[in-house]
Amino acid sequence: MSDFTMPSLGADMERGTLVEWLVKPGSKVRSGDIIAVVETHKGAIDVEIFEDATVSEICAHEGETVPVGGLLARLEAEGGKAAPLLPATKPEPAPAAAKAAPEPTFTITRTGRTKVSPAARRLAAQIGIDPETLTGTGVDGSVSLADVELARASAAKPAPAAKAARKRGFDPVEMRRGIALAMARSKREIPHYYLSSTVDMGPTLDWLARFNEARPPTERMLAAVPLIKATALALRKHPQLNGFWQDDAFQPGAGVHIGWAISLRGGGLVSPAIHDADTLALPDLMDKLRDLVARARSGGLRSSELMDATVTITSLGERGADNVAAIIYPPQVAIVGFGRIRERPWIVDGKVAARPLVDVTLAADHRASDGHTGGLLLSTIEQLLQEPETL
Protein backbone atom coordinates (compact mmCIF):
# COMPACT_ATOMS: atom_id res chain seq x y z
CA MET A 1 0.00 0.00 0.00
CA SER A 2 1.05 3.61 -0.51
CA ASP A 3 -0.52 7.00 0.06
CA PHE A 4 -1.95 9.20 -2.66
CA THR A 5 -1.79 12.70 -1.18
CA MET A 6 -3.04 16.18 -1.94
CA PRO A 7 -0.55 17.49 -4.53
CA SER A 8 1.22 20.80 -4.23
CA LEU A 9 0.11 22.76 -7.28
CA GLY A 10 2.57 25.58 -6.72
CA ALA A 11 4.34 27.39 -3.89
CA ASP A 12 1.21 29.49 -3.27
CA MET A 13 -1.00 26.48 -2.45
CA GLU A 14 -1.66 25.41 1.12
CA ARG A 15 -4.78 23.27 0.81
CA GLY A 16 -7.38 22.01 -1.65
CA THR A 17 -11.01 20.89 -1.52
CA LEU A 18 -11.87 17.54 -3.04
CA VAL A 19 -14.73 18.29 -5.42
CA GLU A 20 -15.22 14.93 -7.11
CA TRP A 21 -13.76 11.44 -7.25
CA LEU A 22 -13.67 9.92 -10.73
CA VAL A 23 -12.68 6.51 -9.37
CA LYS A 24 -13.88 4.24 -6.57
CA PRO A 25 -12.27 1.48 -4.46
CA GLY A 26 -11.17 -1.32 -6.75
CA SER A 27 -10.72 0.93 -9.79
CA LYS A 28 -7.63 0.22 -11.89
CA VAL A 29 -5.89 3.38 -13.03
CA ARG A 30 -3.15 4.07 -15.55
CA SER A 31 -0.43 6.68 -15.55
CA GLY A 32 -1.90 9.95 -16.81
CA ASP A 33 -5.50 9.12 -15.84
CA ILE A 34 -7.48 11.90 -14.16
CA ILE A 35 -8.82 10.40 -10.94
CA ALA A 36 -10.16 13.40 -9.03
CA VAL A 37 -11.08 17.07 -9.26
CA VAL A 38 -9.62 19.37 -6.61
CA GLU A 39 -10.73 22.93 -6.00
CA THR A 40 -7.96 25.40 -5.15
CA HIS A 41 -7.70 29.18 -5.24
CA LYS A 42 -6.70 28.65 -8.90
CA GLY A 43 -10.00 26.97 -9.71
CA ALA A 44 -10.93 23.33 -10.25
CA ILE A 45 -7.91 21.23 -11.20
CA ASP A 46 -7.97 17.74 -12.73
CA VAL A 47 -5.65 15.60 -10.60
CA GLU A 48 -3.70 12.87 -12.37
CA ILE A 49 -2.14 9.60 -11.27
CA PHE A 50 1.43 8.94 -12.33
CA GLU A 51 1.67 5.14 -12.10
CA ASP A 52 -0.41 2.09 -12.93
CA ALA A 53 -2.19 1.00 -9.75
CA THR A 54 -5.42 -0.08 -8.10
CA VAL A 55 -7.35 2.24 -5.80
CA SER A 56 -7.54 0.32 -2.53
CA GLU A 57 -9.27 2.89 -0.34
CA ILE A 58 -10.80 6.36 -0.66
CA CYS A 59 -9.73 8.32 2.42
CA ALA A 60 -10.95 11.86 1.70
CA HIS A 61 -14.53 12.61 0.83
CA GLU A 62 -16.11 14.98 -1.65
CA GLY A 63 -16.41 18.43 -0.10
CA GLU A 64 -13.55 17.82 2.33
CA THR A 65 -10.69 20.34 2.53
CA VAL A 66 -7.28 18.66 2.76
CA PRO A 67 -3.88 20.32 3.35
CA VAL A 68 -1.03 19.78 0.90
CA GLY A 69 0.41 16.37 1.68
CA GLY A 70 -2.82 15.20 3.32
CA LEU A 71 -4.10 11.71 2.56
CA LEU A 72 -6.57 11.35 -0.31
CA ALA A 73 -6.49 7.63 -1.11
CA ARG A 74 -4.48 4.44 -0.75
CA LEU A 75 -3.03 2.72 -3.80
CA GLU A 76 -1.61 -0.67 -4.62
CA ALA A 77 0.69 -0.92 -7.61
CA GLU A 78 0.34 -3.70 -10.15
CA GLY A 79 2.03 -6.85 -8.93
CA GLY A 80 1.20 -6.06 -5.31
CA LYS A 81 4.02 -3.55 -4.77
CA ALA A 82 3.44 -0.16 -3.25
CA ALA A 83 2.68 2.51 -5.82
CA PRO A 84 5.11 5.46 -5.88
CA LEU A 85 3.92 8.60 -4.18
CA LEU A 86 2.48 11.44 -6.21
CA PRO A 87 5.34 13.80 -7.07
CA ALA A 88 5.34 16.99 -5.02
CA THR A 89 7.10 20.27 -5.78
CA LYS A 90 6.35 22.12 -2.57
CA PRO A 91 9.69 22.58 -0.80
CA GLU A 92 8.31 23.06 2.70
CA PRO A 93 7.43 19.99 4.76
CA ALA A 94 3.76 19.20 4.91
CA PRO A 95 1.90 20.34 8.05
CA ALA A 96 2.16 17.91 10.93
CA ALA A 97 -1.53 17.12 10.70
CA ALA A 98 -1.10 16.11 7.07
CA LYS A 99 1.71 13.69 7.94
CA ALA A 100 -0.21 11.88 10.64
CA ALA A 101 -0.95 8.38 9.40
CA PRO A 102 -4.57 7.24 9.51
CA GLU A 103 -5.58 4.24 11.56
CA PRO A 104 -4.63 0.94 9.90
CA THR A 105 -7.25 -0.04 7.35
CA PHE A 106 -7.13 -3.78 8.03
CA THR A 107 -7.28 -3.72 11.84
CA ILE A 108 -10.75 -5.04 12.67
CA THR A 109 -12.86 -3.84 15.59
CA ARG A 110 -15.14 -6.55 16.96
CA THR A 111 -18.52 -5.57 18.39
CA GLY A 112 -21.40 -7.67 19.60
CA ARG A 113 -22.55 -8.63 16.11
CA THR A 114 -20.39 -7.25 13.34
CA LYS A 115 -16.68 -6.70 12.68
CA VAL A 116 -15.93 -3.17 11.49
CA SER A 117 -12.61 -1.66 10.39
CA PRO A 118 -11.64 1.59 12.17
CA ALA A 119 -11.67 3.56 8.89
CA ALA A 120 -15.16 2.27 8.08
CA ARG A 121 -16.42 3.06 11.59
CA ARG A 122 -14.97 6.58 11.41
CA LEU A 123 -16.63 7.33 8.06
CA ALA A 124 -19.93 5.78 9.17
CA ALA A 125 -19.98 8.05 12.21
CA GLN A 126 -19.28 11.09 10.06
CA ILE A 127 -22.16 10.43 7.68
CA GLY A 128 -24.63 9.00 10.18
CA ILE A 129 -24.75 5.35 9.11
CA ASP A 130 -24.84 2.44 11.55
CA PRO A 131 -22.06 0.14 10.25
CA GLU A 132 -23.52 -2.88 12.04
CA THR A 133 -26.52 -2.78 9.73
CA LEU A 134 -24.29 -3.32 6.68
CA THR A 135 -23.22 -6.53 5.00
CA GLY A 136 -19.45 -6.80 5.22
CA THR A 137 -17.34 -7.77 2.23
CA GLY A 138 -13.94 -7.30 3.88
CA VAL A 139 -11.58 -9.66 5.63
CA ASP A 140 -13.47 -12.40 7.45
CA GLY A 141 -16.79 -10.74 6.63
CA SER A 142 -15.86 -7.41 8.21
CA VAL A 143 -17.43 -4.13 7.19
CA SER A 144 -14.84 -2.25 5.13
CA LEU A 145 -14.57 1.38 4.08
CA ALA A 146 -15.82 0.39 0.63
CA ASP A 147 -19.00 -1.05 2.19
CA VAL A 148 -19.72 2.24 3.95
CA GLU A 149 -18.96 4.19 0.76
CA LEU A 150 -21.42 2.01 -1.13
CA ALA A 151 -24.07 2.53 1.54
CA ARG A 152 -23.60 6.27 1.40
CA ALA A 153 -23.84 6.29 -2.39
CA SER A 154 -27.02 4.21 -2.29
CA ALA A 155 -28.62 6.40 0.37
CA ALA A 156 -27.91 9.74 -1.26
CA LYS A 157 -26.81 9.33 -4.85
CA PRO A 158 -25.99 12.77 -6.25
CA ALA A 159 -28.03 14.00 -9.16
CA PRO A 160 -26.10 14.07 -12.46
CA ALA A 161 -26.65 17.82 -12.70
CA ALA A 162 -24.75 18.38 -9.48
CA LYS A 163 -21.50 17.04 -10.91
CA ALA A 164 -22.01 18.80 -14.21
CA ALA A 165 -22.24 22.08 -12.32
CA ARG A 166 -19.03 21.61 -10.34
CA LYS A 167 -17.15 24.80 -9.75
CA ARG A 168 -14.58 25.73 -12.37
CA GLY A 169 -13.85 29.32 -11.50
CA PHE A 170 -11.27 30.68 -9.09
CA ASP A 171 -11.50 32.68 -5.91
CA PRO A 172 -9.79 36.03 -6.67
CA VAL A 173 -9.38 36.88 -2.98
CA GLU A 174 -7.78 33.55 -2.14
CA MET A 175 -5.68 33.65 -5.30
CA ARG A 176 -4.36 37.10 -4.42
CA ARG A 177 -3.56 35.84 -0.92
CA GLY A 178 -1.68 32.86 -2.34
CA ILE A 179 0.27 35.03 -4.77
CA ALA A 180 1.14 37.45 -1.97
CA LEU A 181 2.48 34.66 0.25
CA ALA A 182 4.55 33.08 -2.53
CA MET A 183 6.01 36.36 -3.79
CA ALA A 184 6.76 37.67 -0.30
CA ARG A 185 8.59 34.45 0.43
CA SER A 186 10.47 34.72 -2.87
CA LYS A 187 11.69 38.27 -2.22
CA ARG A 188 12.55 37.42 1.38
CA GLU A 189 14.46 34.19 0.76
CA ILE A 190 15.81 34.31 -2.80
CA PRO A 191 18.84 36.53 -3.59
CA HIS A 192 17.65 37.87 -6.95
CA TYR A 193 19.90 39.33 -9.59
CA TYR A 194 18.52 41.11 -12.64
CA LEU A 195 19.77 41.43 -16.22
CA SER A 196 18.17 42.88 -19.34
CA SER A 197 18.80 43.03 -23.06
CA THR A 198 17.15 44.68 -26.05
CA VAL A 199 16.53 42.48 -29.07
CA ASP A 200 15.74 43.44 -32.67
CA MET A 201 12.60 41.45 -33.54
CA GLY A 202 12.72 42.39 -37.24
CA PRO A 203 13.87 38.97 -38.52
CA THR A 204 11.36 37.10 -36.39
CA LEU A 205 8.43 39.35 -37.33
CA ASP A 206 9.31 39.11 -41.03
CA TRP A 207 9.36 35.31 -40.79
CA LEU A 208 6.09 35.36 -38.84
CA ALA A 209 4.38 37.52 -41.47
CA ARG A 210 5.35 35.05 -44.20
CA PHE A 211 4.13 32.13 -42.10
CA ASN A 212 0.75 33.73 -41.37
CA GLU A 213 0.16 35.20 -44.83
CA ALA A 214 -1.78 32.31 -46.35
CA ARG A 215 -3.41 31.09 -43.15
CA PRO A 216 -6.84 31.93 -41.71
CA PRO A 217 -6.89 33.86 -38.41
CA THR A 218 -7.60 30.72 -36.39
CA GLU A 219 -4.35 29.12 -37.61
CA ARG A 220 -2.03 32.11 -37.39
CA MET A 221 0.90 32.13 -35.02
CA LEU A 222 1.43 34.70 -32.31
CA ALA A 223 4.77 36.41 -31.73
CA ALA A 224 4.81 34.81 -28.27
CA VAL A 225 5.53 31.41 -29.81
CA PRO A 226 9.04 32.11 -31.16
CA LEU A 227 9.81 33.91 -27.90
CA ILE A 228 8.90 30.77 -25.95
CA LYS A 229 10.81 28.47 -28.29
CA ALA A 230 13.94 30.67 -28.26
CA THR A 231 13.87 30.74 -24.47
CA ALA A 232 13.39 26.98 -24.26
CA LEU A 233 16.31 26.29 -26.59
CA ALA A 234 18.49 28.75 -24.70
CA LEU A 235 17.65 27.00 -21.43
CA ARG A 236 18.60 23.67 -22.94
CA LYS A 237 22.02 25.18 -23.68
CA HIS A 238 22.28 26.80 -20.22
CA PRO A 239 20.61 24.27 -17.89
CA GLN A 240 21.87 25.98 -14.72
CA LEU A 241 18.80 28.24 -15.00
CA ASN A 242 16.32 25.45 -15.67
CA GLY A 243 15.30 23.70 -12.48
CA PHE A 244 14.66 24.13 -8.77
CA TRP A 245 16.38 25.18 -5.56
CA GLN A 246 15.51 22.46 -3.07
CA ASP A 247 17.25 21.04 0.01
CA ASP A 248 19.87 23.83 -0.18
CA ALA A 249 21.00 22.73 -3.63
CA PHE A 250 20.12 23.21 -7.29
CA GLN A 251 18.09 20.36 -8.78
CA PRO A 252 18.13 20.43 -12.62
CA GLY A 253 14.81 20.01 -14.38
CA ALA A 254 14.05 16.70 -16.07
CA GLY A 255 13.04 18.65 -19.18
CA VAL A 256 12.47 22.22 -20.30
CA HIS A 257 8.94 22.84 -19.05
CA ILE A 258 8.02 26.47 -19.66
CA GLY A 259 5.51 27.98 -17.26
CA TRP A 260 3.58 30.59 -19.23
CA ALA A 261 2.05 33.30 -17.03
CA ILE A 262 -1.65 33.69 -17.93
CA SER A 263 -3.80 36.50 -16.56
CA LEU A 264 -7.32 35.42 -15.70
CA ARG A 265 -10.46 37.47 -16.10
CA GLY A 266 -11.22 38.86 -12.68
CA GLY A 267 -7.63 39.50 -11.63
CA GLY A 268 -6.06 36.07 -11.16
CA LEU A 269 -2.83 34.62 -12.47
CA VAL A 270 -1.65 31.08 -13.19
CA SER A 271 1.52 29.75 -14.81
CA PRO A 272 0.82 26.25 -16.19
CA ALA A 273 3.62 24.40 -17.94
CA ILE A 274 4.18 23.68 -21.61
CA HIS A 275 6.08 20.43 -21.27
CA ASP A 276 9.26 19.85 -23.30
CA ALA A 277 8.83 23.17 -25.08
CA ASP A 278 12.34 22.90 -26.55
CA THR A 279 11.30 19.83 -28.59
CA LEU A 280 8.07 21.20 -30.08
CA ALA A 281 7.79 22.54 -33.62
CA LEU A 282 6.48 26.11 -33.70
CA PRO A 283 2.99 25.19 -35.02
CA ASP A 284 2.66 22.51 -32.31
CA LEU A 285 3.81 25.00 -29.70
CA MET A 286 1.13 27.42 -30.91
CA ASP A 287 -1.52 24.70 -30.52
CA LYS A 288 -0.27 23.91 -27.02
CA LEU A 289 -0.32 27.57 -26.03
CA ARG A 290 -3.81 28.16 -27.42
CA ASP A 291 -5.16 25.11 -25.60
CA LEU A 292 -3.43 26.00 -22.34
CA VAL A 293 -4.76 29.57 -22.29
CA ALA A 294 -8.30 28.40 -23.10
CA ARG A 295 -8.32 25.80 -20.32
CA ALA A 296 -6.72 28.17 -17.83
CA ARG A 297 -9.50 30.71 -18.37
CA SER A 298 -12.41 28.30 -18.63
CA GLY A 299 -11.27 25.57 -16.21
CA GLY A 300 -9.73 22.19 -16.83
CA LEU A 301 -6.02 22.53 -16.09
CA ARG A 302 -4.30 19.28 -15.12
CA SER A 303 -2.30 18.91 -11.93
CA SER A 304 0.87 18.01 -13.86
CA GLU A 305 0.70 21.36 -15.66
CA LEU A 306 0.84 23.22 -12.36
CA MET A 307 3.44 21.07 -10.61
CA ASP A 308 6.59 20.90 -12.68
CA ALA A 309 7.28 24.10 -14.63
CA THR A 310 11.08 24.47 -14.56
CA VAL A 311 11.13 28.18 -15.42
CA THR A 312 8.47 30.84 -15.95
CA ILE A 313 8.01 33.32 -18.80
CA THR A 314 5.94 36.43 -18.23
CA SER A 315 5.00 38.65 -21.17
CA LEU A 316 3.40 42.01 -20.50
CA GLY A 317 3.73 43.46 -23.97
CA GLU A 318 0.01 43.25 -24.62
CA ARG A 319 -0.54 45.25 -21.42
CA GLY A 320 1.61 48.09 -22.71
CA ALA A 321 4.68 47.53 -20.53
CA ASP A 322 8.07 48.07 -22.19
CA ASN A 323 9.82 45.74 -19.74
CA VAL A 324 9.20 43.72 -16.61
CA ALA A 325 11.44 43.05 -13.60
CA ALA A 326 9.73 39.88 -12.47
CA ILE A 327 9.89 37.94 -9.19
CA ILE A 328 11.03 34.31 -9.23
CA TYR A 329 8.32 31.75 -8.53
CA PRO A 330 9.82 29.34 -5.96
CA PRO A 331 11.25 26.75 -6.05
CA GLN A 332 12.26 27.76 -9.61
CA VAL A 333 15.55 29.63 -10.00
CA ALA A 334 14.75 31.98 -12.88
CA ILE A 335 12.00 33.92 -14.63
CA VAL A 336 12.23 35.53 -18.07
CA GLY A 337 10.20 38.61 -18.96
CA PHE A 338 9.26 40.10 -22.35
CA GLY A 339 7.92 43.62 -22.83
CA ARG A 340 5.99 44.97 -25.78
CA ILE A 341 7.44 44.96 -29.27
CA ARG A 342 7.49 48.50 -30.60
CA GLU A 343 9.47 50.56 -33.06
CA ARG A 344 12.38 52.48 -31.59
CA PRO A 345 15.62 54.00 -32.91
CA TRP A 346 18.31 51.38 -33.55
CA ILE A 347 21.69 51.41 -35.22
CA VAL A 348 21.74 49.31 -38.40
CA ASP A 349 24.87 49.29 -40.59
CA GLY A 350 26.08 52.47 -38.91
CA LYS A 351 22.81 54.34 -39.47
CA VAL A 352 19.87 55.10 -37.21
CA ALA A 353 16.76 53.21 -38.27
CA ALA A 354 13.35 52.45 -36.80
CA ARG A 355 13.28 48.79 -35.75
CA PRO A 356 10.80 46.64 -33.81
CA LEU A 357 12.54 46.08 -30.49
CA VAL A 358 11.69 44.08 -27.39
CA ASP A 359 13.25 44.28 -23.93
CA VAL A 360 14.09 40.87 -22.48
CA THR A 361 14.72 40.64 -18.74
CA LEU A 362 15.99 37.87 -16.53
CA ALA A 363 15.58 37.52 -12.78
CA ALA A 364 17.66 34.64 -11.43
CA ASP A 365 18.57 33.06 -8.11
CA HIS A 366 22.15 33.93 -7.16
CA ARG A 367 22.42 30.71 -5.15
CA ALA A 368 22.08 28.67 -8.36
CA SER A 369 23.87 30.87 -10.92
CA ASP A 370 25.58 34.19 -11.44
CA GLY A 371 25.42 37.07 -13.89
CA HIS A 372 27.84 35.41 -16.31
CA THR A 373 25.44 32.51 -16.88
CA GLY A 374 22.43 34.81 -17.01
CA GLY A 375 24.12 37.00 -19.60
CA LEU A 376 24.87 33.98 -21.77
CA LEU A 377 21.21 32.97 -21.63
CA LEU A 378 20.04 36.39 -22.83
CA SER A 379 22.67 36.40 -25.57
CA THR A 380 21.54 32.98 -26.79
CA ILE A 381 17.90 34.09 -26.86
CA GLU A 382 18.89 37.09 -28.98
CA GLN A 383 20.91 34.96 -31.41
CA LEU A 384 18.05 32.52 -31.89
CA LEU A 385 15.55 35.31 -32.58
CA GLN A 386 17.83 36.60 -35.36
CA GLU A 387 17.47 33.22 -37.12
CA PRO A 388 13.80 32.28 -36.60
CA GLU A 389 13.87 29.64 -39.33
CA THR A 390 16.08 27.54 -37.03
CA LEU A 391 13.62 27.53 -34.16
Per residue in 146-189, pLDDT (tens digit) is 667 667 766 654 433 344 344 556 677 778 888 888 899 999 99
- pLDDT for residue 80: 55
CATH fold of the domain at 2-164? OB fold (Dihydrolipoamide Acetyltransferase, E2P) (2.40.50)
- SS3 label, residue 333: coil
User: Of the candidates 115, 119, 118, which has an alpha carbon nearest to the alpha carbon of residue 134?
Assistant: 115
Beta partners for residue 110, in sequence order: 115
Q: What distance lies between CA 222 and its chain's CA centroid?
A: 23
- Highest averaged pLDDT of the listed ranges 49-63, 79-93, 165-179, 326-340: 326-340
The verdict on pTM exceeding 0.75 is no
Q: What is the mean pLDDT of the chain?
A: 83
Query: Which of 109-118, 128-137, 179-188, 352-361 shows the lowest per-residue confidence on average (mean pLDDT)?
Result: 109-118
Domain(s) of CATH 3.30.559.10: residues in the chain: 172-390
Q: Are 195 and 361 in contact (CB under 8 A)?
A: yes
Domain(s) of CATH 2.40.50.100: residues in the chain: 2-164
- pLDDT for residue 319: 82
Query: Which of 31-45, 51-65, 154-168 shows the lowest per-residue confidence on average (mean pLDDT)?
Result: 154-168
108 vs 83, higher pLDDT: 83
- pLDDT for residue 367: 96
Report percent pLDDT > 70 for the chain. 82
- CB-CB neighbours of 76 under 10 Å: 16
pLDDT at 18 over 60: yes
- pLDDT for residue 286: 95
- pLDDT for residue 243: 96
- pLDDT for residue 90: 41
Domain 172-390 superfamily per CATH:
Chloramphenicol acetyltransferase-like domain (3.30.559.10)
Q: What are phi and psi of 350, to 5 degrees?
A: 80, 5
